[in-house]
């Protein structure tokens, strides 16, 4: 059975675009895009791809109801910059995937999102950074890790340059993780993910 995927976005939606562009390689289809921000460009990207696009601002119950009504198998957080309620998370156990722009457990948790993550990495002077795809649990950025990929920071001087380098990784590993999920190849046991 082809899996039905909902993607939640708050902003530009370049990760959403990478999923849409790789959809023909997956046993899954993005059937719904939801944003908590009305003007998120991600909603436009969805409409351009003939995908249902919905704006729901902070109302997790309405969101749960919509996702259940649409019989969504997998929820992907692709730059969704709102914290989901425990009720939401327990409605989709090990069926929510998030992309985070650092090597978790570095530079994650409350307040670590978007460009701020790269500012933190620059400030700390780390030599490498990267991106992480993980399942979402009740602990912010604390769920089982699916894929991580590293890149060098080298002599990059601006957070925006690091962001660009990390986004290249994100656009590769997020579709890859979704593809694995859709093929039932991700097994979670004791907080660890095994790729079958």
Residues involved in catalysis: 100
Spell out the long-range contacts of 182-189 with Cβ–Cβ below 8 A and sequence spacing 24 or more.
182/2, 182/3, 182/5, 182/26, 182/27, 182/28, 182/74, 183/27, 186/146, 188/94, 188/135, 188/144
Residue whose CB is less far from ligand GAR, 71 or 140 = 140
Binding mask 139-178 for ligand GAR (x = CB under 6 A): ----------------------------x--x--------
What is the enclosing helix (H) or strand (E) of 132? Answer: strand 128-135
Residue matched to tokens 């790729």: 195
196 with 187: CB under 8 angstroms?
yes
- Interface with ligand GAR includes 89 (CB under 6 A)? no
Kindly identify the residues of this chain, within the stretch 114-143, that bind ligand GAR according to CB under 6 A.
114, 117
**CB-CB contact of 61 with 42 (8 Å):** no
x/- binding map, residues 38-77, to ligand GAR, per CB under 6 A? ----------------------------------------
Q: For residues 19 and 33, what is the distance between their CA atoms, to the nearest angstrom?
A: 12
Q: Could you say whether residue 13 binds ligand GAR (CB under 6 A)?
A: yes
Question: Residue 85, interface with ligand GAR (CB under 6 A)?
Answer: no
Of residues 167 and 188, the one with the C-beta less far from ligand GAR: 167
Site residues for ligand GAR per CB under 6 A: 9, 11-15, 78-79, 99-101, 113-114, 117, 167, 170
């Amino acid at each position: 059975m082809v899996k039905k995927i909902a993607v939640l976005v708050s902003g530009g939606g370049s990760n959403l675009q990478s999923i849409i562009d790789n959809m023909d390689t997956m046993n899954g289809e993005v059937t719904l895009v939801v944003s908590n921000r009305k003007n998120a460009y991600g909603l436009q990207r969805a409409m351009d791809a003939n995908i249902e696009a919905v704006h729901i601002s902070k109302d997790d119950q309405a969101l749960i109801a919509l996702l259940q009504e649409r019989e969504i198998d997998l929820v992907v957080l692709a730059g969704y910059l709102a914290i989901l309620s425990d009720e939401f998370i327990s409605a989709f156990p090990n069926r929510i995937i998030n992309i985070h722009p650092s090597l978790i457990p570095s530079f994650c948790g409350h307040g670590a999102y978007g460009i701020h993550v790269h500012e933190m990495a620059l400030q700390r002077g780390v030599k490498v950074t990267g991106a992480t795809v993980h399942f979402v649990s009740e602990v912010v950025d604390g769920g089982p890790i699916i894929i991580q990929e590293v890149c060098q920071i080298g002599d990059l001087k601006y957070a925006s340059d690091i962001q660009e380098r990390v986004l290249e990784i994100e656009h590769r590993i997020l579709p890859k993780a979704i593809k694995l999920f859709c093929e039932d190849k991700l097994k979670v046991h004791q907080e660890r993910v095994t790729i079958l």
